[in-house]
Chain A
């Protein structure tokens, strides 16, 4: 098992020369997030599976036509959204399926639910940062950032003074 992480762009370059390993590596990197996104949006494992499959089939089939500046993550992001809308549209066109999906769909399209998409992304990112999680789990939770910084400065000052006094003592004894 190799520990070398190859960048997406390098894998795309390999893809143009029919490298199946590069293709499978891209698949293993992205399939899960695409699948979970589709599953969340369409509430259908089968539809999610079809979308993921079709997206990767299309990448393989267009491997010789990919532009030099091709970004796999941007492509997947745009493609999965397009496919989700298409799939939902097909479901709504189906007379038998449309009434079944109405309940969750009306809930997801409500103003309250859509409001979540308008929240700033940075807020979510900060919560997921490891430092923030540590801060929440330790006693620093109720302290502000300023207080924490002050404590850090105090700690550095104390360690420096301790060290200086110790070296002074040592030099005193040496002399």
Chain B
């Protein structure tokens, strides 16, 4: 499919003006998850932290809602 055609289809879909067939086509594409991409464990943990830091930087929630330090018995109890 030509990108121009797809672009106009997506425009209509986002505006809620797509034809039923176009909606079905786009939704079929969105639902098609046969082959999943994979991340290595190192890559995954690094990315996980990076995105979380970006969220924290944007919302600044650690500044407004700092974490309370757990007491020793709470840390101990968490193991059980």
| Chain A residues with a Cβ under 8 A of chain B | 1-3, 18-21, 23-24, 27-28, 31-32, 35-37, 39-41, 49, 52-53, 56-57, 60-61, 81, 84-86, 88-89, 92-93, 98-99, 101-102, 105-106, 108-110, 113-114, 116-118
- 1/0 per position for B37-80, CB-CB distance to A under 8 A? 11100001001101110110011011011010000000000111
- Contact A31-B48, Cβ < 8 Å, known A20-B67, A36-B39, A109-B6: yes
B3 near A60 with CB under 8 A, answer no
Q: How far is the CA of A20 from the CA of B37 in the complex (A)?
A: 29
Q: Could you give 27 example pairs across A and B, Cβ below 8 Å?
A: A1-B78, A20-B61, A20-B62, A27-B52, A31-B51, A32-B48, A37-B33, A40-B36, A52-B51, A53-B51, A56-B51, A56-B55, A85-B10, A85-B14, A89-B11, A92-B10, A101-B3, A105-B1, A105-B6, A106-B1, A108-B29, A109-B1, A110-B1, A113-B29, A116-B32, A116-B34, A117-B29
Which residues in B have their C-beta under 8 angstroms from that of A32? Answer: 39, 44, 48
Could you tell me how many residues of chain B have their Cβ less than 8 Å away from some Cβ of chain A?
41
Give the interface SS of chain B, mostly helix, strand, loop or mixed: helix
Q: Which residues of B contact A35 (CB under 8 A)?
A: 39, 47, 51
The complex places the Cα of A37 from the Cα of B38 at a distance, in Å, of 10
Q: Smallest Cβ distance from A108 to chain B, in angstroms? A: 6
B6:A53 contact, CB within 8 angstroms: no
Query: Interface of chain A, helix or strand or loop or mixed?
Result: helix
**When A and B form their complex, what is the total count of cross-chain residue pairs whose Cβ atoms lie within 8 Å?**
106
- Inter-chain contacts of A81 with B (CB < 8 A): 30
Write the chain A residue with the least CB distance to B52: A27
Please give, as numbers and ranges, the residues of chain A lying within 8 Å of B35 by CB-CB distance.
40
- Point out the residues of chain B lying under 8 angstroms from A117, CB to CB: 28-29, 31-32
Closest Cβ–Cβ distance, residue A105 to chain B (whole Å) = 7
A123–chain B nearest beta-carbon distance, Å: 12
Q: How far is the CB of B10 from chain A (nearest CB, A)?
A: 4
Q: Which residue of B lies closest to A110 (CB)?
A: B1
Instruction: Indicate which residue in A2, A53, A109 contacts B54 across the interface (CB closer than 8 Å).
Output: A53
A57 to B51, Cβ gap below 8 A? no
